[in-house]
Amino acid sequence: MFVLIFFLLGLLLIILQTTVFMINPVWNGAPDLYFILVAYLAYRHDLFRSLIVLFPLAMIFDVLSGLVLGMYPALFILGYFLLKVMSDRLPVRESFYQVPMIGVGYLLVNWLVYVCMSFAVPSMLVPWSWPIMFMRAALVVLFSFPLFRLFEFVNRRIEGKFTGFYKGRLRSGNRYRE
């Protein structure tokens, strides 16, 4: 259930990103909502389920955006592992610090992928622009607050449903009264 619902949520974010948030074909101000989902999964969920959600989404993104197949899976997976390591190793487990870390992770992952791609397909990319990338990182951070709340809400609902189901089957522990 978790995988299906978060996959659908991710799909919705991708569709929003490629339609509503893209005002014109050369618009640079669309927030990379997919990265917020990547960050949420990296911070809150285990590797196996997260990858099951992220991999098909990355492939869909690959089809809808860009010219180089495999670029988005690289961005998704790299982003996921980077944020996972950052949240596990660095002493910044509070949500207050985690959200700005998403922006930092976003910049770092994008820069790494861009560097790799500029070696592989140098003439295909729009030149790197720090102001634009900073703006997009800020947008990611800005959208992280409401989206994290949404993801948390959905997650609680999913967990609540199953917890409720198991609660009904729990025994009281008093064997003599049963």
131 belongs to the binding site for another protein (CB under 8 A)? no
Give the binding range for another protein (CB under 8 A) out of 11-19, 42-50, 80-88, 99-107.
Answer: 11-19
Structure tokens at 163: 């917890």
Of the candidate residues 129, 152, 156, 161, the single one contacting another protein (CB under 8 A): 129
Of the candidate residues 116, 121, 146, 152, the single one contacting another protein (CB under 8 A): 121
127 to 16, 120, 122, 124: CA distances (angstroms): 25, 14, 10, 9
- Note the Cα 164 to chain centre separation in Å: 28
Q: How many CA atoms lie within 13 A of 16 on its CB side?
A: 11
Cβ(45)–Cβ(158) below 8 Å? no
Instruction: Using the minimum distance from each CB to another protein, give the nearer residue, 127 or 173.
Output: 127
Considering only residues 23 to 62 of the shown chain, the ones binding another protein according to CB under 8 A are 24-28, 30, 32
Cβ(33)–Cβ(74) below 8 Å? no
Give the binding range for another protein (CB under 8 A) out of 39-47, 80-88, 122-130, 146-154.
Answer: 122-130
136 belongs to the binding site for another protein (CB under 8 A)? yes
114 belongs to the binding site for another protein (CB under 8 A)? yes
Neighbours of 70 (CB within 10 A): 11
Instruction: Using the minimum distance from each CB to another protein, give the nearer residue, 27 or 48.
Output: 27
- Using CB atoms within 10 Å of the CB of residue 51, give its burial: 0 to 12 exposed, 13 to 18 middle, 19+ buried: middle
Residues that bind another protein (CB under 8 A): 17-19, 21-22, 24-28, 30, 32, 64-69, 114, 117, 121, 123-127, 129, 132-133, 136
